[in-house]
A and B are shown apart, each in its own frame.
Chain A
Amino acid sequence: GENVEQHPSTLSVQEGDSAVIKCTYSDSASNYFPWYKQELGKGPQLIIDIRSNVGEKKDQRIAVTLNKTAKHFSLHITETQPEDSAVYFCAASGNTGFQKLVFGTGTRLLVSP
């Protein structure tokens, strides 16, 4: 089945810096890649997603890139702010059945003022 690896597990940056989180997936048939942000005591919040027919998608300070050949996708956050501090999860789905997301292990992002 699908396997998603996520790096790094923790990431500390200064406010205003950029942050990049990377994921790789194993199933070449996967075609949908969402990113979630989870704050303490809350459920995961969808922040951006990308489909396999698109190489890059941007929404204000966040962007996601997808390299289908290498089976890599990445989350880019620019001009980080303290409120960006949270755990970020990548996920993949597509071939294993409707609505089944396979998640990475998460990245704890800490943005220091």
Chain B
Amino acid sequence: KAGVTQTPRYLIKTRGQQVTLSCSPISGHRSVSWYQQTPGQGLQFLFEYFSETQRNKGNFPGRFSGRQFSNSRSEMNVSTLELGDSALYLCASSSGLAAETKQFFGPGTRLTVL
């Protein structure tokens, strides 16, 4: 099976702009979770989508949003970018059928905010 794919791999934006990141999960997986990775805060959970519904949400401001399509592909959007949003954004794919299912990560999108 193909792994989790994320596009684009790199992005450079300026403060105040918005950005949309895309994630395609492993075929057959219905859950997509998003994480932010920074040197200071480590890996932090943003939100999870399952069958087009947000099922769980972390402690991030409303500028961070997402959605999932009927083919399980997911997008996350960050509006009004701040310098502190510079990070590696990772998505993880799983079957989502139980709390203890394996999550498989994509390579990430490196976002730089200038």
Contact = CB atoms under 8 A, between A and B. Distances in A.
A93 B100 contact: yes
Given A98-B48, A106-B42, A46 B103 contact: yes
A99 B92 CA distance: 9
Interface string B25-51: 000000101010000001111001010
Contacts of B94: 99
B58 interface: yes
A82 B102 CA distance: 27
Given A42-B108, A89-B43, 19 more contacts: A31-B99, A41-B107, A43-B90, A44-B43, A46-B103, A91-B43, A94-B100, A98-B96, A98-B98, A98-B99, A99-B56, A99-B101, A100-B45, A100-B58, A101-B43, A101-B45, A101-B92, A103-B42, A104-B42
A42 B55 contact: no
A51 interface: yes
Contacts of B33: 99-101
A98 B31 contact: yes
A97 B60 CA distance: 16
Nearest to A41: B107
Name the prevailing secondary structure of the B interface residues. strand
B105 A99 contact: no
B106 interface: yes
A43 B107 contact: yes
**Closest A-B pairs by Cβ, 9 of them:** A43-B105, A32-B100, A97-B56, A103-B43, A99-B48, A44-B105, A43-B107, A100-B45, A99-B33
B64 interface: no
A51 B99 CA distance: 11
Contacts of A42: 107-108
Interface in A47-62: 49, 51
